[in-house]
């Protein structure tokens, strides 16, 4: 079976001999034109027309009221947590099945990640598990949520939309509202994905998207914050630019800010990529549909799009029978020059997070043993 899959992937990408990567960016539009324009203008750093325009265009695309660019998705998450009011000593509920940046960003904000299980069919935070945890372990004090065991405030919940597939974000939002918890979405992987007609990252109070080189569209390195809240947007932008207060000549800074604003040259690249996004989405949907048909006749299942979801199919994923089969497949495919990767190791198993509070993690563990990403680049 494994060799059939490997052959199928080779045929699908039409590269009989060479190495087939997991995901590479596609530059077939105005990338070079805008980069040249940017260089010719001399505005290659944090000021310039491309950064401003990129924010406007991403806001238009996602229908978020405000979009604030950052140097990468990780610091977009960090700023989102800060402006959403996460403070030192707070707890932030998140999922253990995610890329390390989600968890690290919570720690950068001096808060503690709490790990709650995911759903198998979304690979995102499970509203059922979230509710069960809060019912058992939380209490309300002065309109805020507290962990009864640790006595820490539970300020926020940060679910992640895995591989561009939406988690049950509307149900999570309603639970967060009931418990007075802020919802911050890690939509790093979700550019171009919609759920119930809304772009991922526009459900909660604030969200971050990544434009790293391995994501569906890239600015080289980069990220963006989405929010409908003007105050939060203004604070995020201020913090991202060293908290500099406008003045004709003086250096006035009113708090400890960050150098987190995306340079113009990255935004120039991003603008061209955004123009290509619809093509990328269509192309990736066709690939996902080929995979889906292929795996229908096998014991291996494909991570399908669910009802009411419009997925970007950033990274395709399959479910192997168990960890042994997973490792066999990883070995054989990579040996054959078809790049495949397992889903992340659970955060609670990493040395720095092994003592964090967690709920039962049955689904996350099940997925960790079985999920593998297969080549997903745009095919030309
Ligand atoms: C890529 C990614 C990030 C971080 O984005 P960077 O731009 O690489 O800093 C955060 N969370 C998840 C889930 C990601 O996949």
DSSP conformation letters of 96-163: SSS-HHHHHHHHHTT-EEEE--B-TTTSSB-HHHHHHHHHHHEEEETTEEEETTT--BEEEEE-B-GG
**In a mutational test of the pocket of ligand 1, which residue from 102, 103, 373 has the highest number of ligand atoms less than 8 Å from its CB?**
102
Whether the CB-CB separation of 319 and 371 falls below 8 Å is answered with yes
CA of 210 to the centre of ligand 1 (A): 6
- Quick check: helix, strand or coil at residue 285? helix
pLDDT for the residue 297: 84
Cβ 123 under 6 angstroms from ligand 1: no
* Side-by-side strand order, sheet with 371-374: 301-302, 316-319, 371-374, 341-342
Cβ 210 under 6 angstroms from ligand 1: yes
**What span, in angstroms and rounded, lies between the C-alpha atoms of 187 and 375?**
21
pLDDT for the residue 16: 66
Give the residue whose CA is nearest to atom 6 of ligand 1.
73
CA of 1 to the centre of ligand 1 (A): 33
For the chain, the residue count is 380
pLDDT for the residue 282: 98
pLDDT for the residue 18: 85
User: In the chain, which stretches have pLDDT less than 70?
Assistant: 15-16
Task: Find the farthest-apart pair of alpha carbons in the chain and give their distance in angstroms, rounded.
Answer: 68
Token couple for 63: 């229908």
**What span, in angstroms and rounded, lies between the C-alpha atoms of 59 and 238?**
18
- Which residues make Cβ contacts (< 8 Å) with residue 275, sequence separation at least 6? 29, 30
First to last CA, the chain: 27
Cβ 162 under 6 angstroms from ligand 1: no
**Closest ligand 1 atom to Cα of 77:** 10
């Amino acid at each position: 079976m494994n060799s059939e899959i490997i052959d199928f992937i080779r045929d699908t990408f039409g590269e009989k001999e060479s190495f087939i990567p997991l995901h590479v960016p596609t530059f077939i539009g105005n990338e070079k034109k805008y980069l040249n324009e940017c260089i010719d203008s001399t505005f290659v750093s944090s000021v310039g027309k491309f950064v401003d325009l990129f924010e406007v265009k991403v806001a238009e695309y996602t229908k978020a009221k405000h979009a604030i660019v950052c140097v990468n998705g990780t610091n977009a998450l960090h700023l989102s947590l800060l402006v959403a009011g996460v403070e030192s000593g707070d707890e932030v509920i998140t999922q253990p099945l995610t890329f390390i940046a989600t968890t690290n960003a919570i720690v950068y904000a001096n808060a503690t990640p709490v790990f709650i299980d995911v759903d198998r069919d979304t690979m995102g935070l499970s509203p059922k598990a979230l509710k069960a945890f809060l019912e058992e372990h939380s209490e309300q004090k002065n309109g805020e949520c507290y962990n009864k065991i640790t006595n820490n405030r539970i300020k926020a919940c940060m679910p992640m939309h895995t591989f561009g597939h939406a988690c049950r974000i509307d149900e999570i939002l309603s639970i967060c509202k009931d418990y007075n918890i802020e919802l911050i979405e890690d939509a790093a992987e979700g550019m171009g994905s919609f759920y119930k007609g809304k772009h991922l990252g526009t459900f909660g109070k604030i969200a971050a998207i990544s434009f790293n080189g391995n994501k569906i569209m890239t600015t080289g390195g980069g990220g963006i914050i989405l929010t409908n809240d003007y105050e939060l947007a203004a604070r995020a932008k201020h913090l991202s630019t060293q908290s500099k207060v406008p003045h004709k000549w003086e250096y006035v800074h009113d708090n400890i800010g960050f150098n987190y604003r995306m340079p113009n040259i990255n935004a120039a690249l991003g603008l061209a990529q955004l123009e290509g996004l619809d093509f990328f989405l269509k192309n990736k949907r066709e690939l996902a549909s080929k995979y889906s048909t292929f795996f229908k006749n096998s014991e291996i299942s494909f991570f399908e799009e669910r009802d009411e979801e419009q997925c970007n199919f950033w990274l395709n994923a399959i479910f192997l029978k168990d960890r042994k089969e997973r490792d066999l497949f990883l070995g054989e495919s990579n040996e054959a020059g078809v790049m495949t990767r397992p889903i992340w190791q659970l955060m609670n198993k990493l040395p720095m997070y092994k003592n964090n509070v967690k709920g039962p993690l049955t689904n996350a563990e099940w997925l960790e043993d079985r999920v593998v990403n297969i080549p997903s680049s745009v095919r030309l």
